[in-house]
Amino acid sequence: MRRLFVAAVAAAGLAGALAHDSHAVSRRKTLSFGPVLPHASYHTNSVYHTNLLRAQDPFEVAQIFVEDLIRDIPGGSYQIRKDSYTDQATGVTHIYARQYMNGIEVADGDINLNNGASLHTVARDVDPHADYCRALEHEVASQLQKVDVSKPDHGVDREALGQLGDLYDWNCQFVNLPDFMAESPDFASAEDAASGDVTRALLQFMIAATPSEDLSGEMLANTAKYLSDMHVTFQHHLTGEHAPTFTVENVPDAVNPVKGRLAFVQVPNGDETTLSLVWKFEVEMKDNWYEAAVAAEAPHRIISVVDWASDSPVPVAPIPPKEQEGATYNVFAWGINDPSVGERSIQKENFDALASPLGWHALPYSKDPQSKNLRLKHASAIRNTTTTWGNNVFAHEDWEGRNNWLSNYRPDAGSSKVFDYAYKPKETTTDDALEEAQKYINATITQLFYTSNLVHDLYYRYGFTEVAGNFQQYNFGRGGQENDAVIANAQDGSGYNNANFMTPPDGQNGRCRMYLWNTANPYRDGDLEAGIVIHELSHGLSTRLTGGPANSGCLGWGEAG
């Protein structure tokens, strides 16, 4: 612990010694780590090959393959996930199998990740969190050795060092918390019921996850109060599954009730893997949306955590705006990346009739979040809107920088649907720069709505369809989960010089947050740079295609998600 503390202090000291620009990139706290598993391999036998040759249906082929893999694993079973599908354009069938042990889900036991007899062994004393922090500590120490105080920049990459220091601070500040809490009188006196284990494990995660030092300190000082305030509701299903699912209300710093279930996750054990029993949580916070696996037994170590929110990369250089022109959508047309390379023009609602049969401004009342309390004569009735609200995208301002969005401001173009708004920012004093940028919110929202819908339709033609897990409120009977159009925040007030996208599983709204950039005067607006918007929307594409529509935890630990 002392070595970790010393490294953290040293990193913090170095960060303080290096002068920071007043327009430095704002970074939200985010946790992301997990066990490093050995390479998986598949072994088949002659019987498998014989059966495979006879099989014609792709799902039957998959069933034979998986059954061969788990044949010798006591208690092993599997399910073909419901988000498996056949791409009608390519004829390729995408099948996702999830492993179960004695009826309990192996949360990361996807067909392409695990194999071998070691899967039947249950691990009881693993700490991937500490392993991760030791590796990160070594990297911090390595960077500190490169410091050359004789050079103006100290001979190090200031941005990279700052990111490394943040990673260490965010992920490792509470690495020893499980051992400390296991000895806490509040924990020791708590009942051993399943709900008690759930709340204790969840509270420890929230202490580590919250970006508020005041709140984490309050949770540590008043553990018993926070434990008693949380309420667990177990859900009963008639599906024959043995693992309980539940929701937890009144979770500190969570914006919605936390969803959870009992599961197994793989952890390294030499050249093999073993299984660790965990509580799997889905925790939605203001700036994060976590999928976390926390040991079900005390000490409740964090085994893995994935943040479904993804940030934009290093900021681009400021660009000078050009004079704007206006007139259906007055926008930077597809192919014009930003104000520095072209002017706005009048563009039609050029929707793809296959990808967006209702166009960009219509959706069924039954799928409209703003119409939930309406009594409809016909459930299939279509709502036609005159704002930036449709089946694929809900675009609006979010100056408040919070999680409200249903009633946020959107430009209303009236019955003509001519979204023609001025955009001509001018240089101002620093104090007035934000107000100046906000004057053009109508143009900003219009551009974000236009770009996001074009991306939706383009990706649809390349296979990101309803059944593949794309983002739509209504799926036209084509499969997949509904009610997950992209919530697109323009000029999000929670930060500057960044952008991010949160990708929950299919059936839950993706969230795109675009920020202003205060690196120049007048402020630059990320909503007007197509490259940033497309980058963020592509996080949703890659996450849902890689792990399958129902698995958002596949690209959480440094992969290109």
**Domain chopping of the chain, boundaries:** 58-102, 123-307, 328-545
Per-residue pLDDT of the chain (561 residues; tens, 9 = 90+): 434 444 444 444 444 444 344 455 567 787 877 777 665 555 444 334 434 334 456 777 677 777 777 777 888 887 878 888 877 766 677 888 888 888 888 877 676 432 223 333 344 456 778 777 887 777 777 666 665 544 544 444 545 556 677 777 788 888 778 777 777 766 655 444 445 689 999 999 999 999 999 999 999 999 999 999 999 998 865 444 566 789 999 999 999 999 999 998 888 877 777 888 899 999 999 999 999 999 988 888 898 899 998 776 655 444 444 433 333 999 999 999 999 999 999 999 999 989 999 999 999 999 999 988 776 655 568 999 999 999 999 999 999 988 899 999 999 999 899 999 999 999 998 889 999 999 999 999 999 999 999 999 999 999 999 999 999 999 999 999 999 999 999 999 999 999 999 999 999 999 999 999 999 999 999 999 999 999 999 999 999 998 889 888 887 666 665
Q: Are 385 and 361 in contact (CB under 8 A)?
A: yes
- Report the candidate in 138, 103, 417, 131 with the shortest Cα–Cα distance to residue 241: 103
Q: Which residue is listed with tokens 């996807």?
A: 110
Compute the distance between CA of residue 546 and CA of residue 541 in angstroms, rounded to an integer: 8
For residue 168, the model assigns a pLDDT of: 77
Query: What's at 152, amino acid-wise?
Result: P
Q: Which of 405, 397, 400 is nearest to 440 (CA)?
A: 397
H, E, C per residue of 97-141: EEEEECCEEEEEEECCCCCCHHHHCEECCCCHHHHHHHHHHHHHH
Q: Please give the Cα distance from 177 to 172 (Å, whole number).
A: 10
Per the structure block, which two tokens stand in for 226?
């926070």
Q: At a CB cut-off of 8 Å and minimum separation 6, what does 497 contact?
A: 23, 24, 25, 26, 315, 515, 517, 518, 519
Beta bridge partner(s), residue 50:
none
Residue 355 CB-half CA count within 13 A: 22
Which residues make Cβ contacts (< 8 Å) with residue 389, sequence separation at least 6? 361, 370, 395, 410
Cα→Cα distances 314→27, 37, 40, 497, Å = 11, 29, 34, 9
| Residues labelled catalytic | 536
End-to-end CA distance of the chain: 32
What kind and span of H or E run contains 220? Answer: helix 213-221
Give the CA count within 13 Å in the CB-facing half-sphere of 483. 10
Sequence letter at residue 128: P
Exposure of 291 by Cβ count < 10 A (0-12 exposed, 13-18 middle, 19+ buried)? buried
Assign domain 328-545 to a CATH class: alpha beta
Q: Render 341-378 in DSSP notation, one character per residue.
A: S---EEE-----TTT-TT-SSEEEGGG-GGGTT---SS
- The binding site comprises 311, 535, 539
Cis peptide before 522 (omega within 30 of 0): yes
Strand 104-110 with 97-101, pairing? antiparallel
In 17-96, the DSSP E strands lie at 76-80, 85-86, 93-94
